[in-house]
Amino acid sequence: MIGYNIIGKKISALNDKTIQASNPKNQEQLEGEFHVATTEEADEAIQKAKAVAREYANLPSSKKALFLRTIADNIEKLSSKLIDRVVAESGLPEGRVTGERGRTCGQLRFFADKIEEGSWVNAIVDRGDVDIRQCLQPLGPVVVFTASNFPLAFSTAGGDTASALASGCPVIVKAHESHLGTNNLVAECIMAAAIECGLPDGVFSSLNGAGYELGSYLVKHPDVQAVAFTGSYGGGKALYDLAQSRPHPIPVFSEMGSVNPIFVLPQAMEKKTTSWAEAIASSVNLGAGQFCTNPGIIVVERNEFLTAFSDQLVDAFSRLQAATMLNKGIHANYNKAKYSKSQESGVKIKYIEIDDDKASLSAHPCLLEVSYADYSKNPKLSQEVFGPFTIMVVCENQSEMKEVASQMEGQLTASIIGEADEIIKANDLLEIAASKVGRIIINGMPTGVAVCEAMNHGGPFPATTDPRFTSVGGNAIYRFVRPVCYQGFPDELLPDALKEANPLGIRRLENGEYK
């Protein structure tokens, strides 16, 4: 495997410097040397994207939809070649990777269907004394930073790329250093689809990079119009700050993680002690805790059922299997963070294992406990640990549970576990939690994000840099467009979505009525 950079419809390797991916289970370097992109190659990719942005935006939706479906078809044709490479680079089990491939291709086809239907452009027609019309138009070239924890679904052809291409924006992908071979295979699928569908040269590019130089160059480039990122708070905030320091700032849609608190009410603790304990433990450990929606805080009320619930949690944690983490840095940070938190004042260790096997990067789940009194005095305890970690906050009453919710920073999710009558009585808690999250869940785990129109995978800062948007689901497309108003235009110069005869046949708001 020779890892070239892909610039539109050509491959490029101007730099002699190469990087390699490694297998997290044994630290062995994997086949393939991947050429680090130069600034000249990055600039060429951006200039190509800029040159074709208008042409691509104006292509019929049917042609863009065909492009997305062809990408999905090409990815599926790779079969075990892709699955094996993802498993080798990520340490994830084959079943998980196969499922993620399905989600990735499903997202592409989901957005193909959405843009073919067409109403997402929010066409508005006001025929008054002055004829005024409005619809959404793509921003222009978008840079997508691929994620470490989802090497397919949040990466090269993942949700960010799929929604940006669907919106009509060219995409430049910055490959993740842990998944260079995976990126190479998928990027070739996208390039092949662009050629097969006869798209203009520059709609998609993929660049390999080491360190921060390439990413910084891409974000600061004056012709880049938006950035999408999934990863750590430090990385996402750094990109956001770079973009805001430009002479002309641009939007950065960073999804930066969350502790996803679960509030367990007393009757649930009493009636379904074992089932809820096992569900929570499994959710904490899912994917070695490397989902942005793993629950990092469990909030409970001290009562006669707490001891039994706590014992069941410990038992469930003790039966979970250690899992391989994605890379050395993530593994080292997880171990450092969990042991650091276990030494904080007032913290009790409920379940912890020593994860010193640096060769396999395996990680055991960790369960700690702290009283609300100690938790409320120590901001460190509310910070995310990326890995299979959670801390149980024991409150003396429901007022303290509400205080935990009130003191939360922005989160992706919050869950309320309880019987029907007590959930109704806990409406104040629900409303407080809802004000801090993008998705609130009753009697369910936060791990598991459906790709559908109603899904919101976002939340107030620091969960994301912009709480108005989602990175999963149909509304993800709105990150990469802006409203444009057309006043007094002759019909032949209007976008098809706004023409009088409505040639696209889409639902529009006309003089205040949807038609």
CA distances from 260 to 48, 229, 356 (A): 41, 19, 27
Residue with tokens 């969350």: 258
Q: Which of 100, 255, 278, 369 is catalytic?
A: 255
Question: Which residues face 394 on adjacent strands?
Answer: 300, 371
Query: Rounded to 10 degrees, what is the CA torsion of 401, 404, 410, 416?
Result: -20
Taking residue 344's Cβ as centre, other Cβ atoms within 10 Å add up to 15
Distance CA(187)–CA(203), nearest Å, equals 12
Residue with tokens 């992109």: 37
Question: Which residues face 55 on adjacent strands?
Answer: none
Backbone angles phi, psi at 144, to 5 degrees: -115, 125
Rg of the chain on CA atoms, in Å: 24
Q: Is 27 helix (H, G, I), strand (E, B) or coil?
A: coil
DSSP letters for 435-460: TTEEEEEESS-S-----STT-----S
Judge whether 292 counts as a catalytic residue: yes
Pure H helices in 6-60: 39-57
Distance CA(359)–CA(97), nearest Å, equals 22
CB proximity list for 315: less than 8 A, separation 6 or greater? 277
Distance CA(399)–CA(383), nearest Å, equals 22
Judge whether 197 counts as a catalytic residue: no
Residue with tokens 């892909």: 6
Pure H helices in 118-144: none
Residues 18 and 32 sit within 8 Å (Cβ to Cβ): no
Residues 100 and 151 sit within 8 Å (Cβ to Cβ): yes
Q: Which of 292, 366, 369, 384 is catalytic?
A: 292
Q: Which residues are catalytic?
A: 255, 292
